[in-house]
Amino acid sequence: MDDAVNRSPVNGIPALGLGTYKNTNFGSCVASVRNALDIGFRHIDTAQYYENEAAVGEGIRTSPVSREAVFLASKVWFDDLAYDDVVRTARESLDRLGVDSLDMLYVHWPAESYDPEATLTAFSDLKRDGLIDNIGVSNFTPELLTEAREQCDAPIKANQVEMHPLLQQDELRAYAERHDIALVAYSPLMHGNVGDVREVCEVTEKHETTPEQVTLAWLLDKGVVPIPKATSRAHIRANWESQFLALDDEDIAHIDGISEEKRLGNPAFAPW
Ligand SMILES: NC(=O)c1ccc[n+]([C@@H]2O[C@H](COP(=O)([O-])OP(=O)(O)OC[C@H]3O[C@@H](n4cnc5c(N)ncnc54)[C@H](OP(=O)(O)O)[C@@H]3O)[C@@H](O)[C@H]2O)c1
């Protein structure tokens, strides 16, 4: 990793990443990845399900930033979590991305074909064979994390879950801290609607900034790794600059104190 990343990595993961879900237009996705790397991002999040791995790979390949400087994460969809399918689809991801290995491969959801023993043995074998550097899980509860840690002979490096001011994930954060697992925050900007949260707007006014920057600064202060999705260069730059916004204890407490809870992603197969 080079020194473009301002914050210290969390458990080896660059502290702020670029999300790419729904960035499916090839040219737009390539441009977003190139812009993010140019601005300073060194962590890109994709998934087999997003159908944009080829574009993400093209963005990395055509950027002046070297592949080695980038932390690249993808995910295996829940249809493909049987042992042979994990190995096959991971190889297909590498082909689409045009890389020899991934920095992180996540179990996208603990659903459908997820079988803790078979799935995590496949992930562990991919790591042993050098195709992935780290094993991650996503949308796991503390109970599922405990089971995964017992089954997997390599460390679970990260749990990627929805987190933002209306879903503060206190229990999962405490669990992750106890067990050296990074918490990666998806939908950190509430799909672009953090400006609807009164407390966030109050802190925004005080600092004369934007609700998005306040939210990302609040997440970074908690030691979690936000991966905001942004398409335009202006949004990508604004998100990067959230690292330079220093919130004080009063600001943090104000957002911590929000009692309303709202989960944006709640599919039928969710484990909660
Ligand atoms: N593991 C999982 O199950 C899971 C689930 C959901 C998401 N994820 C990951 O997490 C990433 C982020 O979550 P998300 O895509 O759901 O939503 P998000 O990051 O909370 O919000 C994305 C939206 O915010 C807008 N935005 C970005 N930066 C902005 C800024 N500075 N000012 C104003 N608006 C801004 C984007 O607009 P533009 O695109 O127009 O810039 C987009 O409409 C995903 O892309 C994906 O990589 C993972």
pLDDT digits (tens, 9 = 90+) for 221-237: 999 999 999 999 999 99
Ligand 1 pocket test, candidate residues 56, 78, 229, most atoms within 8 A of CB? 229
Rounded Cα distance, 272 and 259, in Å: 19
Predicted confidence at residue 3, as pLDDT, reads 43
Residue with tokens 């990443």: 17
pLDDT at 2 over 50: no
Residues 6+ apart with CB under 8 A from 234: none
pLDDT at 4 over 70: no
Pocket of ligand 1 from Cβ distances under 6 Å: 19-21, 45, 108, 138-139, 160, 186-192, 212, 227-232, 235, 238-239, 265
Predicted confidence at residue 88, as pLDDT, reads 98
Residues 6+ apart with CB under 8 A from 214: 194, 200, 203, 204, 207, 242, 245, 247, 251, 255
**Between vectors from CA 50 to CA 190 and to CA 64, what angle results, nearest 5°?**
95
Q: State the closest ligand 1 atom to the C-alpha of 189, by its place in the atom list counted from 1.
A: 20
- Closest to 153 in 3D by CA, of 189, 183, 127: 127
pLDDT at 1 over 70: no
Torsional sign, CA 143, 49, 123, 159: negative
* pLDDT one-digit tens code per residue, 188-230: 999 999 999 999 999 999 999 999 999 999 999 999 999 999 9
Predicted confidence at residue 7, as pLDDT, reads 82
CATH for 18-256 is: 3.20.20.100
* pLDDT one-digit tens code per residue, 143-184: 999 999 999 999 999 999 999 999 999 999 999 999 999 999
User: What value does the mean pLDDT of the chain take?
Assistant: 96
Residue range 62-74: average pLDDT? 98
